[in-house]
Amino acid sequence: MSIKKLTVTAFFAALCAVSGFIKIPSGFGGSLALDTVPALVSAAFLPPVFSGLASLLGHTASALYAGFPLGPFHLLIALEMFVIVMFFARLHRKGYHLLKWIFFVAANGILAPLPFYFLISPAFFFGALPFLVMAAALNAIIAAFVLPALRNVLPDRLGFTR
């Protein structure tokens, strides 16, 4: 593990924390935000595990700002975000550029909230689903526009390669 990877991971985690202040209006106490955009972008610059870590930290910060409306369930959500972004980054590295976006929106918007069907209630799950899919799609769309622009400028300066 190099200092450079840790530093760039900390940079993207900080960007996730800052973008967590940009909330997406919903009925869930303000925990939906654009905190995942920098983590998705980090897939071009970091190994998948480090991108996942940036996402985990970003979600935790965003939930903290909102007052942890789902309480300890935010730990589960943060772990889910870690896994989802890690797999997104793996798909990115393998060149599955359309599949990675479909995977992210489906995993983040539909699969990740599935445990809450059982942990909280079916009504909560179905009530949250449209907002979660919208938030996942919005994070993906913004990252899809930012990623190519940054990737053209930064990879050589960071020294990371595919």
CATH topology for the 3-158 domain:
Arp2/3 complex 21 kDa subunit ARPC3 (1.10.1760)
pLDDT of residue 3 exceeding 70, the answer is yes
150 against 86, higher pLDDT:
86
65 against 121, higher pLDDT:
121
Where residue 71 falls (left for φ over 0; alpha for ψ -120 to 50; beta otherwise) is left
Confidence of residue 162 (pLDDT cuts 50, 70, 90): very low
Q: CA 17 to CA 62: how far, in whole Å?
A: 6
In the chain, where the domains are located: 3-158
Q: In the predicted model, what is the mean pLDDT of residues 17-42?
A: 85
Beta strands in the chain (DSSP E): none
Number of Cβ within 10 Å of residue 33's Cβ equals: 25
Q: In the predicted model, what is the mean pLDDT of residues 69-85?
A: 91
At residue 66, the pLDDT reads: 75
Q: In the predicted model, what is the mean pLDDT of residues 31-53?
A: 92
Question: Which of 17-21, 23-27, 112-116, 127-131 is the least confident region?
Answer: 23-27
CB contact at 8 A, 51 and 83:
no
Instruction: Quote the radius of gyration of the chain (alpha carbons, Å).
Output: 15
Q: How distant, in Å, are the alpha carbons of 3, 46, 81, 113, 144 from that of 86?
A: 20, 10, 8, 17, 17
Start-to-end CA span in the chain (Å): 17
Confidence of residue 26 (pLDDT cuts 50, 70, 90): confident
